[in-house]
């Protein structure tokens, strides 16, 4: 399966390390360690795709992965729509424009209830920067 995924998705990968588990309180050190997703008008012109390895998830667990979304464009970035491949994945994203050079929190939560084995999910984000959407591919294994 690993070779298939890598062969099919020769993509720009986001190195996320250990995915954070859902918690009720956020510690300041967690914010500083969030991976950065940099979007610009030039990177989106070809339809940027990032792959997130969620690792192994225990059945029934909810996994939350947090990022910082950075606007590397010369104009404000506004997220127009966000679509997920199923209801098991929820996305929290900024509802207001992100100024050039600024960052804003962006996260997803994957609910593994009802899944077993390898999972392959998608998040598609349409922005004001391009007619091509930004895509995240989520890979993991529910054990």
Contact status, residue 72 vs residue 39, Cβ threshold 8 Å: yes
Task: Work out the percent of the chain whose per-residue pLDDT is above 70.
Answer: 74
Largest interatomic CA distance in the chain? 44
Question: What are the extents of the domains in the chain?
Answer: 2-142
- Other C-beta atoms closer than 10 Å to the C-beta of 119 total 19
The pLDDT value recorded for residue 81 is 95
| pLDDT one-digit tens code per residue, 15-49 | 333 333 333 334 444 445 778 888 877 666 667 78
Residues 6 or more apart in contact with residue 55 via CB below 8 angstroms: 18, 19, 140, 141
CA distance 62 to 64: 7
Q: Which CATH superfamily is domain 2-142 in?
A: Immunoglobulins (2.60.40.10)
pLDDT digit string, tens, across residues 75-105: 999 999 999 999 999 999 999 999 999 999 9
Structure tokens given for 30: 């967690």
């Amino acid at each position: 399966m690993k070779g298939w995924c890598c062969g099919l998705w020769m993509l720009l990968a986001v190195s996320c390390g250990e995915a954070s588990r859902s918690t009720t309180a956020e510690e300041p050190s967690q914010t500083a360690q969030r991976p950065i997703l940099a979007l610009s008008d030039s990177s989106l012109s070809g339809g940027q795709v990032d792959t997130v390895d969620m690792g192994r998830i225990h059945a029934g667990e909810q996994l939350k992965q947090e990022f910082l979304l950075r606007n590397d464009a010369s104009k404000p970035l506004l997220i127009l729509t966000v679509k997920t491949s199923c209801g098991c994945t929820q996305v929290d994203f900024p509802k207001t424009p992100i100024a050039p050079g600024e960052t804003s929190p962006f996260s997803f939560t994957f609910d593994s209830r009802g899944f077993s084995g390898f999972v392959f999910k998608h998040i598609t984000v349409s922005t004001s920067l391009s007619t091509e959407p930004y895509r995240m591919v989520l890979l993991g294994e529910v054990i």
